[in-house]
Homo-oligomer: A and B are copies of this chain.
Amino acid sequence: MFERSVIIVAGGSGSRMNSSLPKQFLPLAGLPILMHSVNVFRRFDRSISIVIALPEQFITQWRELCLKHQFIEKHLITPGGITRFHSVNNALVMVPDHGFVAIHDAVRPLVSVETIHTAFLEAEHYGNAIPCLQVNESVRRVEGEMNFPVPRNSLKLIQTPQVFRTALIKKAYALADRHDYTDDATVLEATGEKIHLVKGNVENIKITHPFDLLLAETLLKEMLPSGS
């Protein structure tokens, strides 16, 4: 059995959600989104190590939320950096060098246990596993004033958790010569590793707009009829 960790990146400031709360703290079925994300990794593996990367100014508020909701799942907190890259880089320090690490967006609380399971399993074989979905709509590429059709069958929408052999992603972050990456797979790829895609789950939406929160509420009711 390999050692497993997850870094949950909770860097949002809430600007697109018309809310003073950062989006990772917005309530979803009564519980902050971030707690749902922690819970699903805990359901996947009772002993997984959880590291949350959170902007420094929200850490006190998070501790208060944990008290309020009697949220006792064990986790470490690391202050987020000025970009997503810096946040993940800070969090990787807290993860043991051996084993495997998932890097997950806090605002994807509806990832399924099955997606997490598949990603760890395939990463153990291929060194990395990146969940993705088909594109269901026609796609065009805009280039200046022009735009062109793109064959949609060749495109995949990328999700998280992205799972890596910890030593490989640590090395990739150490070697990176740019800090504007928004996607961990691309950081790894820069070291010459081949990216291994696996199937994500369609409910695993990224909560970006108020619309998404509404959708997540509905999906959560369907996915967890018992209410937790």
Q: Which residues of A contact B (CB under 8 A)?
A: 130, 132, 135-143, 146-147, 149-150, 154-159, 182-183, 185-186, 189, 194-195, 197, 202-203, 206, 208-209, 211, 214-215, 217-219, 222
Contacts and interface: CB of A to CB of B under 8 A. Distances in A.
Contacts of A136: 206, 208
15 contacts: A135-B139, A138-B183, A138-B185, A138-B186, A140-B195, A142-B154, A147-B195, A147-B197, A202-B211, A203-B211, A214-B218, A215-B215, A215-B218, A215-B219, A217-B218
A197 B155 contact: no
A28 B71 CA distance: 38
Contacts of A143: 154
A219 B212 CA distance: 10
Q: How many copies make up the complex?
A: 2
Nearest to A197: B147
B139 A155 contact: yes
B140 A155 contact: yes
B158 A138 contact: yes
B137 A158 contact: yes
Contacts of A185: 138, 140, 149
